[in-house]
Chain A
Amino acid sequence: MFRLGYLARKLAILALTLLAVATFNFILFRVLPGNPIQLQARAGNLSPEAIQRLREIYGLDQPLISQYFIYLRDVFTGQFGMSITYQRPVVDIIAERMLNTLILLSAATVLVIVLGIGLGIVAAARRGSRIDSSVVVGALVFWSLPTFWTGLILIFIFGAFLNVLPVSGTSTPGVDFTSPIASLADLARHLVLPTITLALVDIGQFVVITRSSLVDVLTEDYILTAKAKGLSRRQVVWRHGVRNALLPVVTTTALYVGLTIGGAIQVETVFSWPGMGALMYDAVLRRDYPILEATFFIFALVVIAANFVSDLLYQVLDPRVREA
């Protein structure tokens, strides 16, 4: 599959990046003016004794370098401290929220990848046609939509005016579901609008990149050869074009993970979807710094992991990179 040396180098870079993120977090939340104690003292009226006690809990009375190592140990063992607003360990709160975000993001990602790549292929295969230009214009328009506003508009249309779909939460309140299937169906109905919002805004990028990548490939000499051999257009586009054009799309998918996390924060806020994004929004509003710190750290980990996986995938898919 790939050479061990390459894998080892990638793993080393991954480890360094993780360390860098943790260090960055440490500097942001502990070293810069505005460490959690100062911030909490600013937010509420803490007595000097309470501040002293908090300083001990967070280890702020120790030298910076040992604070750093304590911080690293805590972060990589998932100890993010106590939430200020919930008065519970941050890890427990995040564990409850994680699944909801995963459900939302998976649904949106499937929709975006299938529709985005599909439309991109259709547009590139008929480059210059009316279909092509409408797909491109549509992609650019959706690209320009603010995610949160798109959500608000969909709430208006489907919630307030048509009243056909639920616009808030993950389940209908006050309903006892007789079977797990009924409860899943209810969840699916709640999932429709948030998923469509996320997908609508994110799809543009996929369409544009798939299209330009396929257009690039379709002007290569070997495509001309394939056409000259008398292959049908379908065979040329799919067998010779799409296969090679999808490589840059793999990289896009990794970038998309970072993008869609930003989208999830907005969509979860607008639709009151109880996931990590809404948690981060609440943490901002209530200045709950331990939660803010933990959600940011986890989001960064996810994006770094996605980049790592896409790097490896690229190796598997593209023999040229593998040899180099």
Chain B
Amino acid sequence: MSWLSPETRAGIRRTAGLVWEDRLGRVGLILLGSTLVVAVLGPIIFPFDPQDFGKTAADILSPPSAVHWLGTDELGRDVFRATIAGARLSLLIGLVATAISIIVGATIGIAAGYRLGFLDSLLMRITDFFLVLPALPLIIVLAALFGQSTVVLVLVIGLTSWPSTARIVRSQVLSLRERQFITRVRSLGATDYRIVTSHILSNVLPLIFANTVLVIAGSILAEATLAFLGLGDPVHVSWGTMLHFAFDSGATGRGAWWYVLPPGIGIVVVVLGFVLAGHTLDRILNPRLRSR
């Protein structure tokens, strides 16, 4: 994070401390921390082999036992290990999709807010248009048209969730560009490129942080939903694909709770972690509410 100014880094540390002091924020950080540990270390300790099918009929959809701690799926694979493998993929997809969404949203927001005029109205009309389209039907259509792969999934989620970020960034830039320190740098002869990269960006980023955290939660939910609807990458196991196969194979109808609960709880834990952290961040970064 060396590209951030020392003040910004100190600000991030202070904000993280404030989140930790809040009861809900702390629960969120703990949930996120444990998921991160599971996602990073889990697959190393409990590797999952998607080709490790059951050998006998008894291995199919068997309830939890000493061998299979969370039972097996419809192909006789270990649900516990699959759930751990799913943590890594779900988190990764959520983070990369959010990165795309924030980069696109911030670029459009800064361009619109800094340039104003025609470019601004054009970009904002486009933003409003995408804001008004129903999100899930849109990503379903895009994913169905462009094929089933993790890359497509990440792109589709990232490229459909940027409008709210663009709106927030634009309004921040609008107020920043008239501040004294910006007008002073400008009068000293700084180029637009330099003003945007070294002054606007560093001031906008902390403010969209809470929004970013909530976008991650939304991206993870979106991935799970798309995968559940059969638009996921069947090769890679994510929580959404697990639930898709649980539903599709009739395992849910046969009461295989050990197959349906773990991936779902995984999704809820991660999303709730991000939602709690984001909610707390929002209160901290929005000073008007902080005093209440």
Which positions in A face B, CB cutoff 8 Å? 17, 20-21, 24, 28-29, 32, 34, 39, 127, 136-137, 140-141, 143-149, 152-153, 155-156, 160-161, 212, 215, 219, 258-259, 261-262, 265-266, 269-270, 280-281, 284-285, 287, 292-293, 295-296, 299-300, 302-304, 307
| Interface presence of B104 (CB below 8 A) | no
In the A-B complex, list the 3 residue pairs whose CB atoms are closest, starting with the nearest: A262-B136, A144-B272, A149-B264
Residue of A nearest to B141 (CB): A296
Chain B interfacial residues counted at CB < 8 A: 42
Interface of chain B, helix or strand or loop or mixed?
A: helix
Among A39, A259, A265, contact of B229 (Cβ-Cβ < 8 Å): A265
The CA of A125 and the CA of B244, in the complex, are separated in Å by 42
The CA of A116 and the CA of B225, in the complex, are separated in Å by 24
| Interface presence of B279 (CB below 8 A) | yes
Which positions in B face A, CB cutoff 8 Å? 24, 129, 132-138, 140-142, 144-146, 217, 221, 224-225, 228-231, 243, 246-247, 252-253, 255, 257, 260-261, 264, 267-268, 271-272, 275-276, 279, 289, 292
Cβ–Cβ contact B267 & A146, under 8 A? yes
Cβ–Cβ contact A265 & B132, under 8 A? no
For residue A212, which residues in chain B have a CB less than 8 angstroms away from its CB? 289
Cβ–Cβ contact B133 & A146, under 8 A? no
For residue A127, which residues in chain B have a CB less than 8 angstroms away from its CB? 292
Cβ–Cβ contact B146 & A34, under 8 A? yes
Residue of B nearest to A32 (CB): B145
For residue A29, which residues in chain B have a CB less than 8 angstroms away from its CB? 145
Minimal beta-carbon separation of A292 from chain B (angstroms) = 6
The CA of A157 and the CA of B289, in the complex, are separated in Å by 40
For residue B136, which residues in chain A have a CB less than 8 angstroms away from its CB? 261-262, 265-266
Minimal beta-carbon separation of B99 from chain A (angstroms) = 21
For residue B24, which residues in chain A have a CB less than 8 angstroms away from its CB? 136-137, 140
**Given contacts A144-B268, A292-B144, A262 and B135 within 8 Å (CB-CB):** yes
The CA of A135 and the CA of B114, in the complex, are separated in Å by 40
Residue of B nearest to A260 (CB): B134
The CA of A89 and the CA of B197, in the complex, are separated in Å by 54
The CA of A165 and the CA of B51, in the complex, are separated in Å by 38
- Of B146, B221, B246, chain A has the most CB atoms within 10 Å of the CB of B221
For residue B142, which residues in chain A have a CB less than 8 angstroms away from its CB? 28
A-B contacts, 27 listed (Cβ < 8 Å): A28-B142, A127-B292, A136-B24, A141-B272, A144-B271, A146-B228, A146-B267, A146-B268, A148-B225, A149-B264, A152-B247, A155-B252, A156-B255, A156-B260, A160-B255, A212-B289, A258-B135, A259-B135, A261-B134, A261-B137, A266-B136, A270-B247, A293-B141, A295-B137, A296-B141, A303-B134, A307-B132
**Given contacts A140-B24, A258-B134, A262-B136, A148 and B255 within 8 Å (CB-CB):** no
Residue of A nearest to B130 (CB): A24
For residue B134, which residues in chain A have a CB less than 8 angstroms away from its CB? 258, 261-262, 299-300, 302-303
Minimal beta-carbon separation of A297 from chain B (angstroms) = 9
